[in-house]
Amino acid sequence: RNSTFVVQIALTHPYGMLKESKFPLVGNDRFEGYGIDLIHELSEMTGFNYTFRVQEDKSSGNPTTFPNGTKIWNGMIGEVLAGRADLAIADITITREREHDVDFTMPFMNLGISILYRQPRAAPPSLFSFLSPFSYEVWGYMLSAYLGVSFLLYLMARISPQEWTNPYPCIEEPVELENQFSLSNSLWFTIGSLMQQGSEIAPVAGSTRMVAAIWWFFTLIMVSSYTANLAAFLTVEQKVSVFDDVKELANQDVIKYGAKTGGSTANFFRDSHDP
């Protein structure tokens, strides 16, 4: 009671922070946070006075062992062992090595080693995202089928006499007959069927009708499959697992990672015997 202790603190949110104020503050009034409040309540209960001392490098403390066996601590633990501070309060992890040289109170929070990372974000849709429902091979096969059916329809219409019609019905014996399935019209008819759109061009001969019917059935299946897959791509969010454990994180070079310099986590991995 009535003793004054030098309390070593580190400015780490939310345990110790500088208080924001319109007016200049001095002494202990400059600080706030969980650790600050805890020291204040303890002083009210036991009647001691205290003065805060800031650890500039925010280091909790790590030992350096020399060849002669001498061990020197830095950080907040080093300040306490050197007598420049009577006690320290911050987010200091209790480790076996630290507990060997200093005493700890009952911890106010127990935490294990965990990895904090941002969840993967969905990439913005690309200009050619409409091609996603089918693979590039399927699109290539469809293009080949489109060109092949168009040329086949053009060829069958040229061979079939029924596709040659009189463009002028008023003239009973025209000089020339016309065929509506020119190469350009054949391409237009085939792509129109694929897009589920009709046209004024219609096959007349049995052979061209059979080719058109087979193509219509093919386009019905492909359009239905494309629509179903496109709806799945737009509504289902695929979860991407970045990594499952520390080994996978260490064996990749895409994600940058790290630990607090001089902290217990960095020391744990430094001294770990697990490769």
Binding residue numbers: 93, 98, 264-265
- Binding-site annotation, residues for L-glutamate: 93, 98, 264-265
Helix axes 183-194, 136-159, angle to 10 degrees: 130
Could you list the beta-strand ranges (E) of 15-161. 17-18, 31-32, 49-54, 63-65, 71-73, 87-89
Could you list the beta-strand ranges (E) of the chain. 4-9, 17-18, 31-32, 49-54, 63-65, 71-73, 87-89, 164-165, 178-179
